[in-house]
Structure 1
């Protein structure tokens, strides 16, 4: 499919299927990531400014954004608001990123929204320079806002894609913004220090709004948070409280829920405890310490940077203490793989190094070497992710152990995809 000339972009074209919508979005990957808000503003203007037809909570940060978005949306929904949520990345289908009322939008609705955005993008592209095009994330974000406006949501909880200042989501006038945490990631685009990265993320905060920050925010990031023109709310790590039973497992999810609770309270002005508890008990987060099977216990977690691995290691100690652990790992080449491995390899009896469908994945041989450098002794490489999981499960099953698959969201996607031959996103 030629993304510059999407079928159905003009005239009375037939409605797209979900496969056509996914094909269009995948076709935009050849243009890569391009920062700036001009294309996005033109795109939304062409679509009738849908982002102006609902309230919003804007979530930025290094880790925990998707979990926090789901939790905020769940709390708001249980307070009687019609709520949308926009997440990234997805695991298997692009449509997983767009949720209305705690449900993914239907394939037909998703396809129609992307088709509307594609039609607008074709018009915008004609106004741009020869080497400029609407990007995949811009088209997907515009489709999301269009569908949320069509469905007349009261409030949308929106996860930023990368950074904040030049992210396509930074066209919203959100009265509540959330900064979950800040770590050193994407330094090529966001800057070399925590302070630089925090400044880029905090550019989404509007004057006079409320900024909610996580309980363990880096001091340099907190300094930057105090500089913005907004009422500052620091979520308390104990706000979620042990009295609130979370469906999402792990200490990091308790911290995420504390942030979500503070953000929802900032938006609503007050909370009903029964609604909060119902949201906590009913919100699961796919790909975040998600249990795939029970015999042997097998978990999937999309931690893909050192901070994520620190949180995951804490959860492993809480949930799997005393059980021999087999790790299945795949990591992209732009990540600090050595530091990631230092956090989790000491917790494991063995490591199975594998790859994933993203061309940036480190080779199993490279991961084997890195794992040995941080102390692993039982390490083997298995290139195919499904075979790697089978090898790990066999070893764990023989010793009443557990399996943890982690290191890249793309690895999780490879294992969850029902059609292993179907192409997935690599951005």
Structure 2
């Protein structure tokens, strides 16, 4: 297969409205069996390097970026598996900061297609592997063959039944848990936390961000059930300060004068989760010196998160896609920027808490530019307009069919001291980055994945 043929193969296995992160409950009776079988048939590549497994509702990607940057600064070869992607699906599988090459992706997917065909002949009752399962196994194989020292693996959806959960990590990490994917994971923090805590393995250490009591109780209980040492943020480790200068304390570790390259005080907590994994990794033979810690935090790159795309007028893109991330964005924007008027360019997936997202951001905005067809699961303009008019009556609202068109209109409206904020989804942030020429996506890939 070439890369485009591999994408076509994946497209036919995609679910969750082409989002490529499968609903893990669709085949709950099968669970992780397909993924585990594929891995075993390929020699269990996920066991051939150290690994950190990251679950949570908010901050998974940023935590993974911080950890990857610190490990790379220490001289380790690092594989990073994340989702979703911004501009190309290959971004999900990175080795030392570079997306997997198109030809390598195609070659590995061709190999996986043969193994998957054998799986279907051997266990026809299981059905075919999903797109997310295939890409997950592809990442594991790519990391093993590239000889990475550490794999940093982000959960796609939930944790317990997510395809990534076939790994036996050296450390598990759980970022802040909130309300997201409730139709799938549950409507209470306890239910969602139990799914996220499904990545905890017997005897393997787990690091958690500070959690609401309802979620913390569940994580503590699951850790006890599995005999897994737990470091809970706010209890066993602490961070103090802001993103430009903060301190970290944990048993046997104290660092001051730290700074992150990622804007927003919420990033201090994400950095803290990454830092709290390091003593456990050191016990597994992966020490990271203080110099690498400082360098990694200060240089970590994670596009689409409070990213400044242009000055005067200021244009900022952020992938906030649920209630909690929108609320954090609402806190971060005035802490990081100044403006005369703020113009909100917003597109949200239809399964999100749209009214709460709008409620978090509307108080800052002088007008709304709604984008409707930026992704397959995009919410209709009528719902966004209704939420806006209920919360911000009298403030103008305009509707557009693309991020580029909405951004052009917002810039025409904005003065030199205004702020244009593009948010609601990583797909929105990607569209803004491409509109400014900061990245280029292949229209053929876009057509295949969304076709």
**TM-score when normalising by structure 2:** 0.86
1:392 aligns with: 410
Q: Is the 8 A contact 1:356 1:411 kept in 2?
A: no
Work out the CA distance in 2 between the residues paired with 1:323 and 1:245: 28
Q: C-alpha displacement at 1:271, in angstroms?
A: 4.3
2:176 aligns with: 181
Q: C-alpha displacement at 1:251, in angstroms?
A: 1.3
Which of 84, 95, 103 is the matching residue for 1:89? 84
Work out the CA distance in 1 between the residues paired with 2:205 and 2:340: 44
2:346 aligns with: 329
Work out the CA distance in 2 between the residues paired with 1:374 and 1:424: 38
* Two-structure CA RMSD over aligned residues (Å): 2.1
Does residue 226 (structure 1) correspond to residue 217 (structure 2)? The answer is no
Does residue 252 (structure 1) correspond to residue 266 (structure 2)? The answer is yes
User: CA 1:382–1:311 in structure 2 vs 1: closer, same or farther (change >3 Å)?
Assistant: same
Stretch of structure 1 that moved more, 327-336 or 127-136: 127-136
Q: C-alpha displacement at 1:51, in angstroms?
A: 1.0
Deviations 1:315-338 (A, max 9, x none): 111122344211100111111000
Work out the CA distance in 1 between the residues paired with 2:97 and 2:303: 13
Work out the CA distance in 2 between the residues paired with 1:388 and 1:420: 20
Q: C-alpha displacement at 1:47, in angstroms?
A: 1.4
Matched residue of 2:321: which SS?
coil
Which of 97, 100, 104 is the matching residue for 1:105? 100
Which of 6, 9, 12 is the matching residue for 1:27? 12
Q: C-alpha displacement at 1:419, in angstroms?
A: 4.7
Q: Is the 8 A contact 1:175 1:206 kept in 2?
A: no
User: CA 1:172–1:132 in structure 2 vs 1: closer, same or farther (change >3 Å)?
Assistant: same
1:370 aligns with: 387
Q: C-alpha displacement at 1:202, in angstroms?
A: 0.7
Work out the CA distance in 2 between the residues paired with 1:226 and 1:48: 34
Structure 2 gap segments, 5+ residues each: 17-21, 247-256, 435-439
Q: C-alpha displacement at 1:125, in angstroms?
A: 2.3
Q: Is the 8 A contact 2:13 2:131 kept in 1?
A: yes
Q: C-alpha displacement at 1:193, in angstroms?
A: 1.0
Q: C-alpha displacement at 1:41, in angstroms?
A: 1.1
Matched residue of 1:389: which SS?
helix
User: CA 1:179–1:347 in structure 2 vs 1: closer, same or farther (change >3 Å)?
Assistant: same
1:208 aligns with: 203
Deviations 1:116-140 (A, max 9, x none): 2222222212234368210000000
Which of 294, 298, 307 is the matching residue for 1:290? 307
1:62 aligns with: 57
Q: Is the 8 A contact 2:38 2:137 kept in 1?
A: yes
Structure 1 gap segments, 5+ residues each: 1-15
User: CA 1:263–1:105 in structure 2 vs 1: closer, same or farther (change >3 Å)?
Assistant: same
Q: C-alpha displacement at 1:282, in angstroms?
A: 1.3
Q: C-alpha displacement at 1:163, in angstroms?
A: 0.6
2:447 aligns with: 423
Q: C-alpha displacement at 1:154, in angstroms?
A: 1.5
1:9 aligns with: none
* Structure-to-structure mapping, 1:124-135, within 5 angstroms: 124-129=119-124, 132-135=127-130
Q: C-alpha displacement at 1:69, in angstroms?
A: 0.8
User: CA 1:419–1:63 in structure 2 vs 1: closer, same or farther (change >3 Å)?
Assistant: same
Work out the CA distance in 2 between the residues paired with 1:174 and 1:334: 31
Q: Is the 8 A contact 2:315 2:421 kept in 1?
A: yes
User: CA 1:419–1:109 in structure 2 vs 1: closer, same or farther (change >3 Å)?
Assistant: closer
Deviations 1:269-297 (A, max 9, x none): 46422111110121111111122222422
**TM-score when normalising by structure 1:** 0.90
Deviations 1:179-231 (A, max 9, x none): 1011121222222211111111111111111111113x111111112111211
